[in-house]
Amino acid sequence: MTISAAIESFLAMLAAERGAAANTLAAYRRDLEGAEEAIGDLVAADNAVLASLGTVWAGLAPSSLARKCSALRQFYGFLMDEGWRKDDPSPALPRPRARRPLPRLLNHAEVEALFARAEEDAAGEKPDAVRMLALLELLYGSGLRATELVSLPLSAVPRDAPFLTVTGKGGQQRMVPVSTRARQALSRWMALRGGEGKALFPSSSKQGHLTRIRLFQLLRALAARAGLDPEKVSPHVLRHAFATHLLEGGADLRVLQTLLGHADIATTQIYTHVDSARLVALVNARHPLAVRGQGG
């Protein structure tokens, strides 16, 4: 098998089994073909040859280096799964100089403060306040990206099944669950929204939908009213809180990947580092040796 055929087979697997978007596939192709140009046949490359990429890629930003190495690690895992290689040389790949920064987080008490204020504001059934509550429920309750949320059409609102149909990055669609609380907030908003336009959350001019910038502004204003530091709160921070709190509750990482719409589970794995303090406490409290030590 030629290297180009191996790359094509790998990309076909990504498209068929993981539903990778066209832009994602193009990025993998560039990274793999770039590595091939630098060191030759990737299928036959040994550890020493892969290690030489450290010199070739010395000028890259840590994030670019991490992306290229991730593509190669997945490629070699695929070759082993298909029986085209018996060993995995990817541990010899260069390592980025810096880790990807951990996401900013809100703790449970801060999330509760946001909801308490949003619910208080919406008690009078003012349209803007009810809309804010519905937006908050979907950001934290379903983990939507800001763009995914503001661009939701009316047709995405669930009727019988408790799911939203969301169009994510690369035009990929996925189903995300909608909690009972969120459905109630959406029902309240739909009763006040009016019939103009096709967007679930129309702009003030009724032309198009609410913008990401306006969502950001509304959320920070809510945070200030809730007594929180507005600098700590954004749509993306609430998405991170959704993911982290689900993981704390025992959610499987693959399930979380699906809910968040990540094409690569490596993106989801960052959340395994967020809650390290809780994991250490769990080991100290539950491990048999720890329990034995406490018993004297």
Residues of the chain by 3-state class (helix, strand, coil), percent to 5? 65, 5, 30
pLDDT at 272 over 70: no
Query: Residue 239 catalytic?
Result: yes
3-state secondary structure of 53: helix
Burial of residue 281 (number of CB atoms within 10 Å: 0-12, 13-18, 19+): exposed
How far is CA 256 from its chain centroid? 8
For residue 267, with 0-12 CB atoms within 10 Å meaning exposed, 13-18 middle and 19 or more buried, which class applies?
A: middle
Q: Which two tokens stand for residue 289?
A: 């040796």
Catalytic residue among 29, 169, 212, 225: 169
Residue labelled with tokens 């990482």: 253
Q: Please say if the pLDDT value at position 98 is more than 70.
A: no
Q: Are 99 and 266 in contact (CB under 8 A)?
A: no
Amino acid at 283: V
* Confidence bin at 136 (pLDDT 50/70/90): very high
CA dihedral in degrees (21, 24, 26, 30; nearest 10)? -170
Whole-number Å distance between alpha carbons of 77 and 10 = 10
Instruction: Report whether pLDDT(292) > 60.
Output: no
Is position 236 annotated as part of the catalytic site? yes
Q: Are 214 and 114 in contact (CB under 8 A)?
A: no
Of 141, 190, 191, 189, nearest in space to 166 by CA: 141
As a whole number of angstroms, the distance between CA 90 and CA 234 comes to 37
Q: Which of 209, 239, 240, 245 is catalytic?
A: 239
How confident is residue 206, by pLDDT bands cut at 50, 70 and 90? low
Among the ranges 123-127, 174-178, 250-254, which has the highest mean pLDDT value?
123-127
Residue 161 pLDDT greater than 70, yes or no: no
> What structural domains and CATH numbers belong to the chain?
3-92 (1.10.150.130), 108-274 (1.10.443.10)
Does 64 have pLDDT greater than 80?
yes
DSSP 104: P
Comparison of pLDDT for 138 and 266, the residue scoring more: 138
> Between β-strands 163-167 and 173-177, what pairing exists: parallel, antiparallel or unpaired?
antiparallel
> Is 60 exceeded by the pLDDT of residue 42?
yes
Average pLDDT, the chain: 82
Query: Is 262 labeled as catalytic in the residue annotation?
Result: yes
Q: Which residues pair with 153 in a beta bridge?
A: 199
Active site (annotated) includes residue 169: yes
Residue 267 has pLDDT above 70, yes or no: no
The catalytically annotated residue of 67, 117, 131, 145 is 145
Cβ–Cβ < 8 Å for 285, 43: no
User: Mean per-residue pLDDT for 25-42?
Assistant: 90
Distance CA 117, CA 123 (A): 10
d(CA 287, CA 264): 32
Catalytic residue among 28, 76, 140, 271: 271
Question: What would the two tokens of residue 33 be?
Answer: 């073909």
Joined tokens for residue 167: 């169009």
Least confident of 93-97, 139-143, 150-154: 93-97
